């Protein structure tokens, strides 16, 4: 592992998919992880929370059907 390690909670994971304040910072963190400059970690418990929130965002029109799939 090189660089920083970041533990993401559900609200931060959602910023990757739902555009809101902080989304650009999260996008940058994922780019660093893809290039090996950072490590991202999260709990398996976050998956259920994220899926529920994504479902709600899709129903409210805050998330495109393409991203939702």
- The H-or-E segment that residue 41 falls in is strand 38-41
Of residues 4 and 24, more confidence is placed in 24
Q: Which residues contact residue 30 at a Cβ distance below 8 angstroms, ignoring those fewer than 6 apart?
A: 16, 40
Query: For residue 1, is pLDDT > 80?
Result: no
User: Is the torsion defined by CA of 10, 16, 17, 19 positive or negative?
Assistant: positive
**Letter string b/e over residues 13-28, b meaning 16 or more CB atoms within 10 A of that residue's CB:** bbbbbbeeeeeeebee
Q: What is the pLDDT of residue 23?
A: 93
Query: For residue 62, is pLDDT > 90?
Result: no
Query: For residue 65, is pLDDT > 80?
Result: no
Query: For residue 67, is pLDDT > 90?
Result: no
Query: For residue 57, is pLDDT > 70?
Result: yes
Query: What is the rounded end-to-end Cα distance, in angstroms, of the chain?
Result: 31
Mean pLDDT across the chain: 88
């Amino acid at each position: 592992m090189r660089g920083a390690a970041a533990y993401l909670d559900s609200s931060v994971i959602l910023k990757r998919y739902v555009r809101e304040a902080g989304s650009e910072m999260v996008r940058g963190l994922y780019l660093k992880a893809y290039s090996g400059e950072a490590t991202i970690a999260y709990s398996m418990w976050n998956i259920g929370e994220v899926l529920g929130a994504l479902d709600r965002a899709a129903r409210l029109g805050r998330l495109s059907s393409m991203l939702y799939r």
